Amino acid sequence: MIALVDCNSFYASCEQVFRPDLQNKPVVVLSNNDGCVIAANKEAKALTHIPMFEPVFKIKEVLKANNVTCFSSNYTLYADMSQRVMDTLREFSPNVEEYSIDESFVDLSHYPISQLDAIANEIKDRVHKNTGIPVGVGVAKTKSLSKMANKFAKKVAKNNGVYVVENEEKRTAMLKYFSLKDIWGIGRQHKIRVEKTGAKSAYDFTKVPLAWVRKEMTVVGERLWRELNNFPCHEMTIKVDKKKGIGTAKSFGYKLEDYGLIEEATSYYVAEVADLLRQQNSAASYLEVFLHTNSFSNTDKQYRNKIVITLDIPTNSTIKLTQEALKGLQKIYKPGYRYKKVGVQLFGLVHDTDIQTNLFYQPKKSESSKLTKVIDELNSKFGKNCVKLATVGNREKQWALIKEHRSPRFTTQWNELLTIGKSKS
């Protein structure tokens, strides 16, 4: 049996662990640059009259009037809290698949079925006690069913955050509760097709003949059908596949005209993606740089462009990639515009030992990779960008994301610890 453990409004919960004054109060977390709401807790979701998906500047006043506390995203904190939740789950099973920052599949096949209800409740209680993060637990024989059980655990109050599909009766009851659109992994097109057969609930879907599913919904639909009928098709995956492309793009905190600053931001992003590239022992064959203005602005002149650069030989050297990216940037940059975003993408990734050199160019591999290795080690020991290329510059404050309401990094920085005392403002 597999459990799907899902943290309740994870980002907001992370913030609330360190803010007892916000218990049972509405909390939202904003996207990078404080642009829009990306997470809301139960209390905030209950304020249905607030259009949460509107840009923040449009709803700022309503949020304030309703006493909603806003946080800029603090991914450093969320990553650490996530790790704490995952580590706690590993106390129950050696086989934990981190599905996303706030969800994990936990293999519970080593427990007898009769104990699963108790175990699932203990998972919920222990994670909450040890980390402060509330979770829901769904347990079933297949991943698709455990995902659904998790939803059922949270949606139906009497389940109290835990639902174990330990028998046919409980499986049927759950499937009958959900409609087609609630099924994890069913697309809109497929949903419409299934509806034409007269099926309404998830339960009806499991009764549609397999031959029809196979014909109309391909192998993906067939797997889903089987999984919901209690036949596992998706194994626990522990090893993460290498990424096929690596990229990053973030809006600037301010609109930028100055080429120098854009160049520094670009160099910064190249260093970030090149580091990920080396960590998976890959090298990139192509590099794309793109640049654009704020397309939402009515007053700014608009411009967007991108360039794809083919590298002579695949590389993962920050130095080489930065050189190429900046050459590309120079080609697409036009003065006189107020730019909002620059991004870098690496693709055509190959394993760094299978780099094909060409006849006329033998890279001096040893020198540049030795240097890169030393830089990586220094940065790993002393902090990100402790050693960097001069093109990264030191004016990050002039272009980096705005995080006006970011909470302290309570668990990773000595000088940002949680504080206790009565003289606190």
Partner 1 sequence: MESGKANLVEKSKKSYRVKRPSQTGFSSPATHYTEPRIDLNDALINNPSSTFYVRVIDDSFSEFQILKDDVLIIDKSLTPKQNQLAVITKEGAFEITRIDKDSKEEIQLWGVITYIIKSTL
Among 109, 281, 330, 419, which residue sits at the site for partner 1 (rule: CB under 8 A)?
Answer: 419
Four-CA torsion 294, 297, 298, 303, nearest 10 degrees: 0
Among 31, 32, 66, 76, which residue sits at the site for partner 1 (rule: CB under 8 A)?
Answer: 76
Instruction: Check residue 281 for interaction with partner 1 (CB under 8 A).
Output: no
Stretch that binds partner 1, among 19-27, 284-292, 314-322, 348-356 (CB under 8 A): 19-27
Instruction: Check residue 93 for interaction with partner 1 (CB under 8 A).
Output: no
Interface positions, 336-395, toward partner 1 (CB under 8 A): 379-380, 383-384
Question: Considering beta carbons, is residue 85 or 174 the nearer one to partner 1?
Answer: 85
Stretch that binds partner 1, among 26-34, 79-87, 245-253, 331-339 (CB under 8 A): 79-87
Angle between helices 210-228 and 143-155 (to 10 degrees): 60
Nearest to 337 by CA among 292, 400, 381: 292
Q: Where are the alpha helices (DSSP H) in 208-345?
A: 210-228, 259-279, 318-332
Contact 168, 182 (CB under 8 A): no
Among 6, 263, 275, 352, which residue sits at the site for partner 1 (rule: CB under 8 A)?
Answer: 275
Binding mask of the shown chain, residues 105 to 134, with x at each position contacting partner 1 by CB under 8 A = ---------------------x--xxxx--
Among 218, 297, 394, 412, which residue sits at the site for partner 1 (rule: CB under 8 A)?
Answer: 412
Nearest to 291 by CA among 306, 271, 272: 306
Structure-block tokens of residue 348: 């055509």
Query: For residues 44-53, b (16+ Cβ closer than 10 Å) or e, as one string?
Result: beebeebebe
Stretch that binds partner 1, among 38-46, 103-111, 351-359, 413-421 (CB under 8 A): 413-421
* Pairwise CA distance, residues 99 & 132, whole Å: 20
Q: Kind and range of the H or E element at 108? A: none
For partner 1 (CB under 8 A), the number of binding residues is 35
Question: Considering beta carbons, is residue 140 or 273 the nearer one to partner 1?
Answer: 273
Among 32, 83, 159, 369, which residue sits at the site for partner 1 (rule: CB under 8 A)?
Answer: 83
Question: Considering beta carbons, is residue 101 or 145 the nearer one to partner 1?
Answer: 101
* Pairwise CA distance, residues 226 & 206, whole Å: 8
Instruction: Check residue 23 for interaction with partner 1 (CB under 8 A).
Output: yes
Stretch that binds partner 1, among 52-60, 153-161, 294-302, 417-425 (CB under 8 A): 417-425
Contact 277, 346 (CB under 8 A): yes
Q: CB of 242: closest distance to partner 1 in angstroms?
A: 14
Eight-state DSSP code of residue 302: P
Interface positions, 48-67, toward partner 1 (CB under 8 A): none
* Pairwise CA distance, residues 135 & 6, whole Å: 5
* Pairwise CA distance, residues 206 & 175, whole Å: 9
Question: Considering beta carbons, is residue 98 or 204 the nearer one to partner 1?
Answer: 98
Q: Which amino acid is at 351?
A: H
Q: CB of 344: closest distance to partner 1 in angstroms?
A: 17
Between vectors from CA 259 to CA 256 and to CA 261, what angle results, nearest 5°? 65
Q: Which amino acid is at 39?
A: A
Q: Give the binding site for partner 1 (CB under 8 A).
A: 20-23, 76, 79-80, 83-84, 87-88, 126, 129-132, 275-276, 279, 379-380, 383-384, 410-412, 414, 417-424
